[in-house]
Amino acid sequence: MTYQDHFKLADDIISHVDTVIHEIADPFISSRYIGFISVSAVTVYELAIKEIFCDFASQEHEVLGSFVLSYFERINGQIKLQKIKEDYIPRFGQKYVDKFKAKIEESELEILKTSKRSIKNSYNNIIEWRNQFAHKGDIPPTATYQEAIDSYFTGKEVIHCLSATMHH
């Protein structure tokens, strides 16, 4: 399985919800979908990140692969960009830290130019919205369903940058 295969779960949920969201008259109910989308998005982000690190480690050495698989079984939503940059990637060496930072900045500038969206903000927003919904049942009053969808799709770029970083 590739890391991108994990995205299908959230993509399919979004495709379904897109067909019914406009028929929901109750604003409270429709706002809950922002939470559901955020939870789905962060779940697939987490699975993709685990897949990337575990694949990388397994290709390097069988024992390293076993260790990394065990280590990442416990990340439980700990996938904020800062955590990836300052905790996970440095465990594999400074060259990967530098490569990831360069890829993120390059992608950030490119997507800001083409779509006026920040991959870093989109990625962090969807995680924050997930945490608020999962732990408090809250949805930020300024977030819309479309913004959640856009943030999920734009935030995927962080995962693509991580994959590109960890491949030789």
At 71, is the pLDDT very low, low, confident or very high (cuts 50, 70, 90)? confident
**b/e code 68-87 from CB counts within 10 Å (16+ = b):** beeebeeeebebebeebeee
Whether 65 has a pLDDT exceeding 90, the answer reads no
Greatest extent of the chain over all pairs of C-alpha atoms, in Å: 55
pLDDT at position 168: 63
Can you read off the two tokens belonging to residue 131? 């945490």
Residue found by looking up tokens 């991108």 in the block: 4
Q: Any residues with CB less than 8 A from the CB of 102 and at least 6 apart, and which? A: none
Rounded to an integer, the average pLDDT of 39-46 is 95
In the chain, what percentage of residues exceed pLDDT 90? 70
Whether 95 has a pLDDT exceeding 70, the answer reads yes
The H or E element spanning position 88 is none
**b/e code 11-25 from CB counts within 10 Å (16+ = b):** bebbeebeeebeeee
Number of domains within the chain: 1
pTM, two decimals, is 0.92
Whether 74 has a pLDDT exceeding 80, the answer reads no
pLDDT at position 100: 98
Maximum mean pLDDT: which of 27-36, 57-66, 126-135, 152-161: 152-161
Higher pLDDT, 164 or 60: 164
Whether 75 has a pLDDT exceeding 80, the answer reads no
Domain span at residue 71 reads: 3-166
